[in-house]
Amino acid sequence: MDDDTTEPFGFPAVGRKKLTAAFDGGRLTSDGGVMLLAAAERRLGLCDRLAALIADPRDPSRVVHPVADILRARILAIACGYEDADDLDHLRHDPGFKLACGRLPDSGRDLCSQPTMSRWENAPSLREVIRLMRAMVDLYCASYPRPPAAVTLDIDDTVDVVHGHQQLSLFNGHYDERCFLPIHVYDTATCRPVAVLLRPGKTPSGIEVRGHLRRLVRQLRQHWPQTRITLRGDGHYGRPEVMAFCEAAGIDYVFGLPTNATLRGLVEAAADDVRVRRAEDDAPVLRRYGETRYGARSWARERRVVARIEASTLGLDIRFVVTSFGQGNAEWVYDSLYCARGQAENLIKLHKTQLASDRTSCRSPLANQVRLVLHTAAYWLMLGLRERIPKPHPLASAEFATLRRHLLKIAGRIIETTSRIRIAFAAACPQAVLFRGIARSFHPAGP
C-alpha cells in the first residue's frame, strides 16, 4: 500500500504488557455479511436483470468489468453502508466484496473503481432509465408467488435536499431548501417498495400524479388483472384528477382532504356535540367520528368524506379524508384504514436515512434516477435478508441499520488456497447461530 496505514501505533499497556497495533492483518474484510447479501441478490437475479436493460457499446473482447458486476458492487456497497461511489476505490480490493461479486479474493481481478462506476451511473438513456424503473415494479409483482386478492399501496413524496444546482432541483418554500421531491410508493403490509420516482422540488399537481399513477397501474394490471388495488395518500394526492382516475380504473382510494369552511359547516353539529360532551365529562380529550357527502366545485360528483373530530383543553381539531369505500363506519375508515399510511413514512426513512437514497448529487436527472434505482435495489437485498430471519427472533423486524450492525459488519479472514476458499469469522460473534442459519437457508445443500 502507498500510505502509512501499516505503520504501528500504540494503546495504553494492559497487564504491564505493551500494546501496539497496525493495519497489517492481511486478507481481512470488515463486511463478512456481504456474502448473505450476495446470496439474496443471486436469488432475485437482480443485477443481471438490470444490466440486461442497459446497452453496452464496449468491445466484448476488452471488457474487464461487465455491467452486471459494476451494478452488483455498487448495490452491495450501498447495502453495507457505503453510499458514495468514492468508497469503491477502497472496496474494490476488499476480499469479501470480491467474493460476493464472484471473484477470487487473492488471485481474482479487483472490482471496478469510482470513475468506472460514475460513468455507468450516467450512461443509461431516458428509455433505459424507464426500463430500469419498470423492472423494479416487475420485481415487486414477482415477489408474490401468485396474484394477491388485494393490495394497499401508499404514495407519498419526501424532501431530498440538493447541494448544488442539479437539473430539476427547485427552491421549496415549505422546506426552505432547494430540493427534489421524489415520489415513493410502498406496499406497507409487506414493507416492499413499488416505485421511486425523481421529480422537481415542488408539490405535485393532480395532473402529474394522475399520469404517474396511470403508468404504474397499467403495469400492475399486466401482472394482476383481477387484484383489488387501494391507494392511500395525504392531502397532496386527494386531487379531483386523481380521484376521477381511480374511479374510472376501478381502484379504491382514501386520501387526506384539506379543511375548509364548507366542510367545517357540514360537521358543525357533530363538532359542537363533541365539545359539549368533553366539557360535561371534564375529559382532557374526547374523539368522535362523523361523515358527510361533499362535492367541491372542481369535483364532478359528490363523494364520501369522513371526519375525525377531537376536542381537548387546547380546542377543537377536525381532520377530513375522502374515500371511495361505501362500507365500513367512519372510525374504521379513518383509524384503521387511513392512519395506517403512517407506516409508509417509516419505510421512506429506511430508504433515505439508512440506505442514503438522498445522495442524488449528479447533475443529470437521469443519473440521479439511476441512483434511486440502485438504492431501491439495495433496499430489496436488505428486505430479502430480513425475511430469512425466523419470526420469533428480535431481528426479524429490525431496521436496516440494526441488521447491518449485527449481520453485515462482521470481520472475517479470507484464505484462498489452490483448491478452496475459507472464511474464518470471529469465534465470539454474537449472531453466529443466526448467521449460520440464514446462510443455510440460502444454500440448504451446503456444508
The pLDDT tens digits of the residues spanning 9-54 come to 888 888 888 888 887 777 889 999 999 999 999 999 999 999 999 9
Q: What is the pLDDT of residue 7?
A: 80
Q: How many CB atoms lie within 10 A of CB 200?
A: 17
Q: What is the pLDDT of residue 446?
A: 53
Indicate the length of the chain as a whole number.
447
H/E stretch holding 231 reads strand 228-233
Q: How many CB atoms lie within 10 A of CB 343?
A: 15
Burial class (CB in 10 A: 0-12, 13-18, 19+), 245: buried
Q: How many CB atoms lie within 10 A of CB 107?
A: 8
Cα separation values, 170 from 155, 166, 178, 358, Å: 21, 9, 5, 15
Q: Report the interhelical angle of 365-386 vs 34-44 (nearest 10°).
A: 100
- The type of residue at 332 is W
HSE of 352, CA atoms in CB hemisphere, 13 A:
18
Residue the block writes with cell 479474493:
105
| Sign of the alpha-carbon dihedral angle for 278, 279, 281, 285 | positive
DSSP 138-159: HHHHHTSSS--SEEEEEEEE--
Query: How would you write the pLDDT of the chain (447 residues) with one tens digit per residue?
Result: 455 556 888 888 888 888 888 877 778 899 999 999 999 999 999 999 999 999 999 999 999 999 999 999 999 999 999 999 999 998 999 999 999 999 999 999 999 999 999 999 999 999 999 999 999 999 999 999 999 999 999 999 999 999 888 899 999 999 999 999 999 999 999 999 999 999 999 999 999 999 999 999 999 999 999 999 999 999 889 999 999 999 999 999 999 999 999 999 999 999 999 999 999 988 999 999 999 999 999 999 999 999 999 999 888 999 999 999 999 999 999 999 999 999 999 999 999 999 999 999 899 999 999 999 999 999 999 999 999 999 999 999 999 999 999 999 999 999 999 899 999 998 888 999 999 999 999 987 655
| C-alpha cell belonging to residue 445 | 445443500
Question: In sequence order, which residues have a C-beta less than 8 Å from that of residue 50 and are 6 or more positions away?
Answer: 68, 71, 132, 135, 373, 377
Q: What is the pLDDT of residue 5?
A: 59
Cα separation values, 190 from 226, 351, 380, Å: 20, 15, 12
Q: What is the pLDDT of residue 445?
A: 61
Q: Which of 445, 444, 446, 441 is nearest to 390 (CA)?
A: 441
Q: Kindly list the structural domains of the chain, giving each domain's residue range(s) and its CATH number in brackets, ordered by start.
A: 9-123+410-442 (no CATH), 126-367 (3.90.350)
Q: What is the pLDDT of residue 234?
A: 92
d(Cα 117, Cα 111) in Å, to the nearest integer? 10
The pLDDT tens digits of the residues spanning 290-324 come to 999 999 999 999 999 999 999 998 889 999 999 99
Q: Report the interhelical angle of 114-121 vs 67-79 (nearest 10°).
A: 100
Backbone angles phi, psi at 36, to 5 degrees: -70, -40
| C-alpha cell belonging to residue 193 | 417498495
Q: Which of 217, 146, 158, 176 is nearest to 350 (CA)?
A: 158
Q: What is the pLDDT of residue 1?
A: 44
Judge whether 109 and 64 are in contact, CB under 8 Å: yes
Residue the block writes with cell 430500469:
132
Judge whether 309 and 274 are in contact, CB under 8 Å: yes
Rg of the chain over all Cα atoms, to the nearest angstrom: 26
| C-alpha cell belonging to residue 205 | 399537481
d(Cα 290, Cα 313) in Å, to the nearest integer? 21
Judge whether 237 and 251 are in contact, CB under 8 Å: no
d(Cα 242, Cα 253) in Å, to the nearest integer? 9
Cα separation values, 384 from 237, 250, 380, Å: 30, 32, 6
